[in-house]
C-alpha cells in the first residue's frame, strides 16, 4: 500500500489493517522508534519483497455475502473533526484517539461484520443500508503530529500528495480530513499537483467535532466516504454541508456556519440529500493518454496582494521585490485599481518586465475580471494578466504549481495561468452544447415533461447510442454524441461504460478515442469488472498497454487473480498468461490453496506454459498448503515433460512483477 510514510510517528494497531501488520510487522516498530521529530519526513519502511507481499493481501478477505467492496483511504491530518474535549471542556487533538473512538461509533463502524471478516484489528467498515450497492471499507492513516490547519504549509501539501500516490492503486477513493481554516488552499493545491487524476479525492472537516452530540462532522465524513467509495468523479473535491464542490472553486465563507464552504462561480458537482445526485456534465475529466502522477514540487516565492484605498507605493514596491516570482493581485470589482495611481501601475510594469507573473482577480466573492474599464486596461498594458474568476486560493496555488515547472519559460507560464487546467476558471471552456439538445428533442417527441422522466431518458438513451457507436467503430458518431451532451463515462443498466464495451470489441482506435474524450479506466461495473478486466479476458494486448499507460491497474483480491491465471495455466492458455504479464500481474501469485500457475502447469503437463513461466523467472520453489512444489506435483501426476523442464538445476529466481 505505502512504500513510504510521510511524517507518521505514532502508528498503532488501531489504524493498521491486519494485512498491513502481517506484511510490515517488525518494520512498523522500527518506524515508530525512528520518528523522533515533528518535521515531516520520508522514511523508507520496506523492501521490494515487502511491497509484493502487501499487495497480495491489500484487498483483505472476500465479502461473504457477495456485496462488492468500495475501498477508501482516509488521511487524517488534524482539525476540529477529530478533536475531543479535555477535562476543562476545551477542544484538543489527541493522538490515536480518533480511530479508537470510530470503532466504538456504530454509525461509522459495523463492528460485528468487521470482526467476522477481518478480525479486531482490521479496517473500519460502514454499516450497510437498504439500497447500498457497495460495502464501504476504509483505512485511516493518522498524521503525527496532528496539524492545526492554520499551521499547514506547502510541505504538508506535498506529503499528502505523495501519500495518495503511494496508495493510489489499492483504493477506489481518498478522503482527507483537514481543519477548515486553510482547507481550500490544500484542496486547490492538490488539484494541480495530482496530474491526470483518475480517482476521487475529497477534503472535508467540520465546525464541531464528530464525537460531539450535535456535530456536522458525522454527515460530512459519512457522505465523503460513501461518495469516494461508490461514485466515479476523477477530481479533487471539497465536501461540506451536503454539497460536493470542485476543490479549486471553493472558499471558506463562514467561521461558524455548518455550510462553511461555497463554490461561488461554479455549481456543485453533487448534492447529498435523501439521495446523492451527481451532475456528471459538470465533472472535469482528464482527456490525455497519460498515467496519474504527482508533481511534488511547488514554488514558494508567491503571494497575495490586496488593493485597498490609499495603499502606498512603498508597500507595493516592497512586496514586489525579489525573491517574489508570482503575485495574485486582488483588485476592485471587475479588475480595477484607482485610475489616478500611475505610480502603482508603474511598479507593476517594472515587476512584470523582471519576469514576475502578476495575476489579476477580483476581491468580490462572485464574478470575474473582465477588463471592461480603463484601470483594468492599464494593468493589462503593464503586463498584468487576467485570472478571470479564479478564487484567491486557486490562483495562488496554481501560480506555485506553474512557476515550479522548469520546462516552461515565462511566456509559456503566463499563457498557462490563463488556461483552464483543472476546471479552476471559466475562460477557455469547451464550446457549449448544440442548440437543440438531443435528449430534449427525443423528450419532446415522446411528450415527456417531468424532470425525473427527462433525466431517466438521458441515462437510457446516451449509453445505448454510445455503445452502438463503439460496436460500429464510428468515431465521428462518438464525437458527435459528446457534442450533444453525452457523458462518456455514463453506465448502462449493468454499470458498464462505452470503454468496457470497446475493450471487449478490441478496436484500439475506438479505445484511444474514448480515452481522449475523458473515458475512465477505473470504473467498475456491477460485476466488479474494469475495462482492463475485459481487455485481459479477450487478450487484447495492445489495448492492455494503452489502458496501463492511462493509469489502469489490476484490482481486487490477489488470490482471485492467482486463481484466474492458474486456470489459464491448467488449460495451456499461454496467451492469457501473457495478457496478465503485460498487466503487471505477479506470475508467481498464489490462489487459495497456495498454488501458483506453475503448479497447475506442472500438474496438467503443459510444457509451453512452463517454458513461458520459466522465461519470466517465476518462483519454482513455492510450496502449496500441503507442502508440494510444482516439481513434486509433476512427479506425482507422471507429467514427464513437466518433470524434465523443472528438473533443470539452473536457478530461475523469482518474479519481480506485482499483482494489483
Residue positions annotated with a catalytic role: 80
Q: How far is CA 363 from the centre of its chain?
A: 31
For residue 345, give the 3-state DSSP assignment.
helix
Is residue 30 a contact partner of residue 195, using CB atoms and an 8 Å limit? no
Q: Exposed, middle or buried by CB within 10 Å (0-12, 13-18, 19+), for 78?
A: buried
Element (H, E) at 251: strand 251-252
DSSP code of 255? Answer: S
Is residue 3 a contact partner of residue 167, using CB atoms and an 8 Å limit? no
Q: How many CA atoms lie within 13 A of 520 on its CB side?
A: 27
Cα end-to-end span (Å), the chain: 10
Per-position b or e across 359-393, b if 16+ CB within 10 A of its CB = bbbbbeeeebbebeeebbebbeebbbbbbbbbbbb
For residue 316, give the 3-state DSSP assignment.
helix
User: Residues for the chain: how many in total?
Assistant: 660
Q: Exposed, middle or buried by CB within 10 Å (0-12, 13-18, 19+), for 283?
A: buried
- 103 CB contacts (<8 Å, ≥6 apart)? 14, 109, 111, 124
In angstroms, rounded to a whole number, what is the distance separating the alpha carbons of residues 181 and 152? 10
Q: Exposed, middle or buried by CB within 10 Å (0-12, 13-18, 19+), for 410?
A: middle
In angstroms, rounded to a whole number, what is the distance separating the alpha carbons of residues 332 and 320? 19
Output phi, psi for 414, to 5 deg: -60, -40
Q: What angle do CA 321, 323, 325 make, to 5 degrees?
A: 90
Q: How far is CA 297 from the centre of its chain?
A: 18
Closest CA to 555 of 300, 105, 199: 199
Residue 175's DSSP bridge partners are 74, 202
Residue 20's DSSP bridge partners are none
44: left (phi over 0), alpha (psi -120 to 50) or beta: beta
Is residue 244 a contact partner of residue 227, using CB atoms and an 8 Å limit? yes
In angstroms, rounded to a whole number, what is the distance separating the alpha carbons of residues 613 and 277? 48
For residue 358, give the 3-state DSSP assignment.
strand
Instruction: Label the pairing between strands 385-386 and 357-362.
Output: parallel
Residue 204's DSSP bridge partners are 177
Closest CA to 516 of 544, 488, 536: 488
In angstroms, rounded to a whole number, what is the distance separating the alpha carbons of residues 632 and 625? 13
**Other Cβ atoms closer than 10 A to 527:** 10
Could you give the C-alpha distances from 280 to 464, 481, 490, in angstroms and in order?
A: 17, 15, 8
User: What grid cell was written down for 284?
Assistant: 472535469
ω before 265 within 30° of 0 (cis)?
A: no
Q: Exposed, middle or buried by CB within 10 Å (0-12, 13-18, 19+), for 197?
A: buried
Amino acid at each position: 500500500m505505502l512504500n513510504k510514510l510521510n511524517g507518521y510517528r505514532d502508528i498503532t494497531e488501531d489504524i493498521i489493517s491486519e494485512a498491513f501488520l502481517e506484511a510490515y510487522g517488525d518494520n512498523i516498530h522500527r518506524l515508530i522508534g525512528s520518528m523522533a521529530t515533528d518535521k515531516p519526513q520520508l522514511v523508507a519502511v520496506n523492501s521490494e519483497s515487502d511491497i509484493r507481499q502487501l499487495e497480495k493481501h491489500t484487498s483483505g478477505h472476500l465479502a461473504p455475502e457477495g456485496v462488492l467492496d468500495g475501498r477508501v483511504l482516509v488521511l487524517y491530518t488534524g482539525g476540529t473533526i477529530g478533536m475531543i474535549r479535555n477535562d476543562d471542556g476545551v477542544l484538543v487533538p489527541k493522538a490515536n484517539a480518533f480511530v479508537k473512538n470510530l470503532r466504538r461509533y456504530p454509525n461509522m463502524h459495523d463492528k460485528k461484520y468487521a470482526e467476522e471478516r477481518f478480525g479486531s484489528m482490521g479496517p473500519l467498515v460502514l454499516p450497510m443500508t437498504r439500497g447500498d450497492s457497495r460495502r464501504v471499507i476504509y483505512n485511516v492513516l493518522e498524521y503525527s503530529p496532528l496539524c492545526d490547519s492554520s499551521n499547514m504549509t506547502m510541505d504538508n501539501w506535498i506529503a499528502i500528495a505523495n501519500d495518495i500516490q503511494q496508495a493510489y492503486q489499492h483504493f477506489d477513493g481518498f478522503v482527507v480530513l483537514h481543519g477548515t481554516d486553510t482547507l481550500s488552499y490544500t484542496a486547490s493545491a492538490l488539484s494541480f499537483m495530482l496530474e491526470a487524476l483518475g480517482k476521487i479525492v475529497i477534503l472535508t472537516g467540520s465546525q464541531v467535532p464528530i464525537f460531539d452530540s450535535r456535530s456536522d462532522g458525522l454527515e460530512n465524513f459519512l457522505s465523503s466516504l460513501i461518495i469516494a467509495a461508490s461514485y466515479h468523479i476523477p477530481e479533487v473535491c471539497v465536501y461540506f454541508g451536503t454539497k460536493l464542490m470542485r476543490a479549486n472553486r471553493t472558499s471558506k465563507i463562514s467561521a461558524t456556519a455548518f455550510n462553511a464552504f461555497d463554490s461561488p462561480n461554479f455549481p456543485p458537482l453533487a448534492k447529498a440529500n435523501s439521495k446523492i445526485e451527481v451532475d456528471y456534465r459538470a465533472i472535469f475529466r482528464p482527456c490525455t493518454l497519460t498515467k496519474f502522477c504527482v508533481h511534488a514540487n511547488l514554488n514558494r516565492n508567491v503571494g497575495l496582494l490586496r488593493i485597498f484605498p490609499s495603499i502606498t507605493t512603498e508597500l507595493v514596491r516592497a512586496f514586489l521585490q525579489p525573491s517574489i516570482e508570482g503575485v495574485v493581485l486582488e483588485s476592485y470589482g471587475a479588475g480595477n485599481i484607482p485610475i489616478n495611481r500611475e505610480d502603482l501601475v508603474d511598479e507593476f510594469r517594472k515587476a512584470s518586465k523582471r519576469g514576475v507573473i502578476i495575476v489579476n482577480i477580483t476581491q468580490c466573492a462572485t464574478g470575474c475580471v473582465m477588463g471592461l474599464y480603463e484601470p483594468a486596461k492599464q494593468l493589462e498594458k503593464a503586463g498584468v494578466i487576467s485570472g478571470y474568476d479564479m478564487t484567491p486560493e486557486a490562483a495562488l496555488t496554481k501560480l506555485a504549481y506553474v512557476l515550479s515547472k522548469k520546462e516552461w519559460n515565462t511566456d509559456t507560464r503566463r499563457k498557462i495561468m490563463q488556461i483552464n487546467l483543472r476546471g479552476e476558471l471559466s475562460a477557455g471552456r469547451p464550446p457549449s452544447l448544440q442548440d437543440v439538445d438531443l435528449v430534449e428533442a427525443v423528450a419532446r417527441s415522446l411528450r415527456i415533461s417531468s424532470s425525473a422522466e427527462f433525466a431517466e431518458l438521458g441515462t437510457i438513451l446516451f449509453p445505448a447510442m454510445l455503445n452502438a457507436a463503439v460496436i460500429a467503430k464510428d468515431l465521428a458518431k462518438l464525437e458527435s454524441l459528446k457534442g450533444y451532451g453525452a457523458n462518456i463515462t455514463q453506465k448502462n443498466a449493468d454499470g458498464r461504460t462505452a470503454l468496457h464495451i470497446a475493450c471487449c470489441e478490441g478496436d484500439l482506435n475506438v479505445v484511444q478515442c474514448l480515452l481522449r474524450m475523458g473515458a475512465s479506466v477505473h470504473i467498475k461495473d456491477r460485476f466488479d469488472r474494469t475495462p482492463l478486466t475485459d481487455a485481459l479476458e479477450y487478450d487484447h494486448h495492445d489495448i492492455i498497454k494503452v489502458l496501463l499507460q492511462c493509469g489502469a491497474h489490476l484490482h481486487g483480491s490477489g488470490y482471485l487473480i492467482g486463481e484466474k491465471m492458474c486456470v489459464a495455466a491448467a488449460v495451456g492458455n499461454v496467451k492469457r498468461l501473457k495478457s496478465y504479464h503485460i498487466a503487471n500481474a505477479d506470475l508467481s501469485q498464489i490462489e487459495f490453496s497456495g498454488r501458483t500457475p506453475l503448479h497447475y502447469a506442472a500438474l496438467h503437463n503443459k510444457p509451453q506454459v512452463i517454458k513461458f513461466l520459466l522465461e519470466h523467472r517465476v518462483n519454482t520453489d513455492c510450496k502449496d498448503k500441503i507442502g508440494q512444489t510444482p516439481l513434486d506435483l509433476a512427479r506425482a501426476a507422471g507429467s514427464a515433460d513437466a518433470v524434465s523442464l523443472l528438473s533443470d538445476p539452473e536457478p530461475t529466481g523469482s518474479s519481480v512483477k506485482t499483482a494489483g
